[in-house]
Amino acid sequence: MISTTDFKKGVKIEYNDAAWVIVDFQHINPGKGAAFTRTKIKNLETSRVVEVNFKSGEKVGVPDVQTREMQYLYNDGSSYSFMDQESFDQFSLTTEEIGDGKDYLIENMVVSVTYYKGRPVAVDLPNFVELKVAETQPNIRGDTSGGGGKPAKMETGVVVTVPFHIKEGDLLKIDTRTGEYIERVNK
């Protein structure tokens, strides 16, 4: 059993006889009445997101899910193909099943795939990935006092705000949870 005090983003829970993953949560302590936890949860089978309030201290079950290491092979336009690292079995997930993770998948990357009731339902990416800058504006001299940045399109197609000194071909470390630039990688 998992208590509401143990809620974190990415934790898998069982609610209403289904497996869910916590997308967002907030502990609320109103001036009048009992404290509660406002939670956004995503169904692992249907990808439907709902908002649920749990009483503070309430316990929910742990779903029967398995996690396996998989290697991402390729995208054929409509689905993403993966291979089990142990059995070498291959399977595909649709763009909807992968969600925002598609923006950070690089061929031959090893990811964790969550299975529920014997079928793959979710892909867990590493917290950080290294992506190459495909296109960005040339270096801009001058206005560096604001600290802002410029948009850069990465090799996977995702657009990330980067510092002005970043140029095309640079390898960058990107946080997959927030989509933010972390640092330039020297190789």
For the stretch 85-136, pLDDT in tens is: 888 888 888 887 787 788 899 889 999 888 888 888 878 888 899 999 999 8
pLDDT digits (tens, 9 = 90+) for 82-93: 998 888 888 888
At residue 176's C-alpha, the angle toward residues 39 and 80, to 5°, is 100
When comparing pLDDT for 139 and 158, which is higher? 158
Residue pointed to by tokens 């923006």: 103
Return the residue matching tokens 């054929």.
76
**Which band of pLDDT confidence, cut at 50, 70 and 90, is reported for residue 144?**
low
**Which has the closest alpha carbon to 155: 75, 71, 92?**
75
pLDDT of residue 143: 57
pLDDT value, residue 53: 93
pLDDT at 146 over 70: no
pTM confidence score: 0.70
Would the pLDDT of 140 be above 80? no
Taking alpha carbons only, the member of 51, 112, 105 closest to residue 20 is 51
What confidence score (pLDDT) does residue 177 get? 81
> How would you class 43 by CB atoms within 10 Å of its CB: exposed for 0-12, middle for 13-18, buried for 19 or more?
middle
CA–CA gap between residue 84 and residue 78 (Å, rounded): 20
Structural domains of the chain sorted by starting position, each given as residue range(s) with its CATH number in brackets: 2-60 (2.30.30.30), 65-124 (2.40.50.140), 128-185 (2.40.50.140)
pLDDT digits (tens, 9 = 90+) for 15-73: 988 889 888 899 989 888 889 999 999 888 877 889 999 998 889 998 888 888 999 99
- Residue 96: enclosing H or E segment and its boundaries? helix 95-98
Contacts of residue 26, Cβ cutoff 8 Å, sequence gap at least 6:
37, 38, 39
Distance CA 82, CA 110 (A): 9
Beta strands 65-75; 12-15: pairing state? unpaired
Q: Does 147 have pLDDT greater than 80?
A: no
Burial 97-125 (b: 16+ CB within 10 A, else e): bbeebbbbbeeebebebbebeeebbbbeb
